[in-house]
């Protein structure tokens, strides 16, 4: 059971999810921090010897045999009393200062290593997310994914992995300090071990459940309050027009209020252990003083007292850091687990999938064979037994009432959805492969065009920057040409910096029709051989819509077109018109 607990711990899972070079570096960090405690040990032995030597020197006694052994080991036995003391002081100082400097260096390196590790993990997660099929995307809400890929990754890399290093480093320091104490006074060492060890353990166990549950609550509330903010932004118009500000701000505030309560508790939790430790140390010191006075002779008493003080100054903070880092791990484990789950679920998606170089040329042929598709959690198939071949260059229209499955059909052809049954091929390959073999060969205009916060040019080039940077002037002229044909020429010319105008949120606003035409320009930019248009004319007046369709037909006679529209008139010149009825396809018009 214990082995399973360890295997399932978030810490072990985090380690297992690192690539081998990062894991290697992580262990080096771990060992580096532990090795530093040896310098502490050395420094402490010097200080203890120094103290014992001083006492015996002051009292003109011969130093004890353990002290002489250390002096001998350090090669200081030939020196007179003053030089021995000075030598020990210098050695102790050098060891302790070196320890601190090395610790700063390793911690600095370690923190930046872990932060960059987090950045890489987030990058891969985001890349994998956009490589999955849409049923995968539908599994988590936007807020869940945002939370896991930002705070979740941070909790993993910093909250857990770096806290574990702190624990390792402080635990080894604790062991060293205890050994030093043991060297001076066995009984005292045992008492201190029980005292500090016990205190740390009690504090950890009494606070860990609280810490874990606070961590989980904080993440949930953080997600739900962010969601309310984002609804406030997206639903701005409705809220304004319905005079619903109070309702909306109350919805947000109820989450935010709870979050504040949880955060206040989270901030206070580490302080509880700090105060408990402070009080306990005062009590411990008083008891220790009494014990020394009653039971010890002066020389041994002062030696052990100085070691206790030197060690005590470091023991308490070490115990505190161990205990707090352990709590930090507990606190982070909830949100880190969500990131880990996501990483594990998405790990099957290969990044940078290598494709064998293909000499084949793209052919604008689309074939569907007995394709069924059912959405997860849905009982009825959205597409039923669809069989269809669209030959290169053919113009095919799709009509059907709202909810009949038109967009689902398009998503299947684009590889955004994977059929539950049957096969789909585009140019003889499955759609995902086709897109990777021949990027840009398939153009797509969605009903709701997505606008990047970027310039008009970047919105049109969108991911095909290579050619633009090789040949900027030609490409800009080419883009101007497309926009002219789409009747956007005058608008672009009226903008002070034309194509370089920033559009999107907070920038120059676009009308619905302008947005759609930017979407069409984006699809046309890559000179597609298949063009798939989903209700792309919904925001255009009939005249413009007709012009655009005509333009597309004329300018690309070789291009296969699959167009969805509510308006059959736009398809008057098309080769085939297909009607979808509750997911079933039927040809209603075929050009003779």
Ligand X SMILES: Nc1ncnc2c1ncn2[C@@H]1O[C@H](COP(=O)(O)OP(=O)(O)OP(=O)(O)O)[C@@H](O)[C@H]1O
> Which residues are near Mg ion by CB under 5 A?
407
Does 408 interact with ligand X (rule: CB under 6 A)?
yes
Does 382 interact with ligand X (rule: CB under 6 A)?
yes
Residue with tokens 């009653």: 294
Q: Dihedral sign, CA of 244, 248, 251, 257?
A: negative
Stretch that binds ligand X, among 97-105, 169-177, 292-300, 400-408 (CB under 6 A): 400-408
Which entry of ligand X, Mg ion, none binds 80, CB below 5 to 8 A by partner kind? none
Segments of 403-525 assigned E as strands? 421-426, 442-445, 454-455, 502-503
Does 526 interact with ligand X (rule: CB under 6 A)?
no
Q: How far is the CB of 417 from ligand X (least distance, A)?
A: 9
Full DSSP string of 429-447 = B-HHHHHHHSTTSEEEE-S
Beta bridge partners of 55: none
Segments of 289-365 assigned E as strands? none
Residue 307 is encoded by which pair of tokens? 């070691």
Footprint of ligand X on 248-307 (CB under 6 A): none
Instruction: Please identify, using beta-carbon distances, which residue of 32 and 381 lies nearer to ligand X.
Output: 381
Q: What DSSP state is assigned to residue 362?
A: P
CB of 421 closer than 8 Å to CB of 371: yes
Does 225 interact with ligand X (rule: CB under 6 A)?
no
Does 403 interact with ligand X (rule: CB under 6 A)?
yes
Instruction: Please identify, using beta-carbon distances, which residue of 215 and 400 lies nearer to ligand X.
Output: 400
Q: How far is the CB of 515 from Mg ion (least distance, A)?
A: 17
Does 400 interact with ligand X (rule: CB under 6 A)?
yes
Using CB under 6 A, pick the residue from 58, 137, 138, 285 that binds ligand X.
138
Which entry of Mg ion, ligand X, none binds 469, CB below 5 to 8 A by partner kind? none
CB of 52 closer than 8 Å to CB of 63: yes
Instruction: Please identify, using beta-carbon distances, which residue of 328 and 404 lies nearer to ligand X.
Output: 404
Question: What are 307-312's contacts with CB under 8 Å, separation 24+?
Answer: 307/44, 307/47, 307/48, 307/51, 307/180, 307/181, 307/184, 307/185, 308/181, 308/188, 308/192, 310/44, 310/47, 310/48, 311/44, 311/177, 311/180, 311/181, 311/192, 312/281, 312/285
Stretch that binds ligand X, among 188-196, 320-328, 387-395, 405-413 (CB under 6 A): 405-413
Which entry of Mg ion, ligand X, none binds 60, CB below 5 to 8 A by partner kind? none
Residue 131 is encoded by which pair of tokens? 């490589």
Does 140 interact with ligand X (rule: CB under 6 A)?
no
Using CB under 6 A, pick the residue from 43, 118, 405, 446 that binds ligand X.
405
Footprint of ligand X on 359-378 (CB under 6 A): 375, 378
Using CB under 6 A, pick the residue from 406, 485, 517, 522 that binds ligand X.
406
Beta bridge partners of 398: 564, 578
Which entry of ligand X, Mg ion, none binds 405, CB below 5 to 8 A by partner kind? ligand X
- Residues in contact with ligand X by CB under 6 A are 138, 375, 378, 382, 400, 402-408
């Amino acid at each position: 059971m214990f082995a399973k607990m360890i295997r399932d711990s978030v810490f072990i899972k985090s380690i297992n999810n690192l690539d081998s070079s990062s894991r290697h570096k992580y262990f080096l960090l771990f060992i580096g921090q532990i090795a530093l405690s040896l310098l502490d040990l050395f420094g402490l032995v010097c200080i203890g010897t120094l103290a014992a030597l001083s006492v015996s020197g002051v009292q003109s006694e011969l130093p004890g045999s353990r002290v002489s052994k250390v002096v001998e080991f350090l090669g200081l036995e030939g020196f007179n009393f003053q030089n021995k003391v000075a030598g020990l002081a210098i050695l102790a100082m050098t060891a302790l200062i070196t320890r601190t400097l090395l610790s700063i260096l390793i911690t600095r390196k370690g923190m930046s290593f872990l932060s960059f590790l987090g950045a890489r993990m987030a990058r891969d997660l985001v890349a994998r997310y956009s490589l999955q099929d849409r049923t995968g995307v539908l599994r988590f809400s936007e807020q869940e994914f945002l939370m896991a890929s930002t705070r979740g990754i941070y909790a993993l890399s910093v909250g857990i992995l770096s806290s574990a290093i702190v624990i390792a480093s402080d635990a080894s320091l604790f062991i060293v300090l205890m050994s030093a104490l043991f060297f001076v006074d066995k009984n005292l060492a045992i008492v201190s071990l029980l005292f500090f060890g016990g205190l740390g353990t009690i504090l950890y166990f009494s606070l860990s459940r609280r810490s874990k549950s606070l961590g989980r609550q904080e993440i949930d509330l953080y997600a739900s309050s962010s969601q309310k903010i984002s609804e406030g932004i997206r639903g701005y118009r409705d809220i304004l027009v319905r005079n619903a500000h109070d309702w909306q701000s109350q919805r947000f505030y109820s989450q935010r209020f709870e979050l504040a309560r949880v955060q206040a508790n989270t901030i206070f939790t580490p302080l509880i252990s700090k105060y408990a430790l402070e009080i306990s140390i005062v009590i411990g010191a008083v008891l220790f003083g009494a014990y020394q006075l009653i039971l010890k002779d002066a020389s041994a008493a002062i030696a052990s007292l100085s070691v206790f003080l030197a060690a005590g100054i470091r023991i308490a903070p070490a115990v505190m850091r161990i205990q707090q880092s352990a709590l930090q791990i507990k606190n982070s484990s909830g949100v880190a687990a969500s990131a880990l789950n996501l990483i594990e679920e998405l790990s099957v998606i290969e990044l940078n999938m290598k494709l064998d170089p293909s000499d084949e040329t793209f052919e604008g042929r689309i074939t569907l064979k007995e394709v069924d598709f059912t959405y997860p959690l849905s009982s009825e198939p959205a597409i039923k037994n669809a069989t269809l071949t669209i030959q290169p260059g053919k113009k095919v229209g799709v009509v059907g009432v709202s909810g009949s499955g038109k967009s689902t059909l398009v998503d299947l052809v684009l590889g955004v959805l994977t059929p539950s049954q049957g096969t789909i091929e585009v140019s003889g390959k499955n759609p995902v492969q086709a897109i990777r073999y021949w990027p840009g060969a398939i153009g797509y205009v969605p009903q709701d065009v997505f606008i990047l916060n970027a310039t008009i040019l970047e919105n049109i080039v969108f991911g095909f920057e290579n050619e633009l940077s090789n040949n900027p002037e030609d490409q800009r002229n080419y883009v101007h040409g497309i926009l002219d044909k789409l009747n956007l020429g005058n608008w672009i010319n009226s903008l002070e910096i034309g194509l370089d105008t920033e559009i999107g949120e907070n920038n120059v606003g676009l009308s619905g029709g302008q947005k759609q035409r930017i979407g069409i320009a984006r699809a046309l930019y890559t000179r597609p051989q298949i063009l798939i248009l989903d209700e792309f004319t919904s925001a255009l007046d009939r005249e413009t819509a007709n012009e655009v369709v005509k333009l597309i037909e004329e300018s690309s006679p070789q291009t296969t077109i699959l167009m969805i529209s509510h308006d059959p008139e736009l398809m008057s010149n098309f080769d085939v018109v297909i009607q979808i009825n509750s997911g079933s396809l039927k040809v209603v018009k075929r050009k003779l």
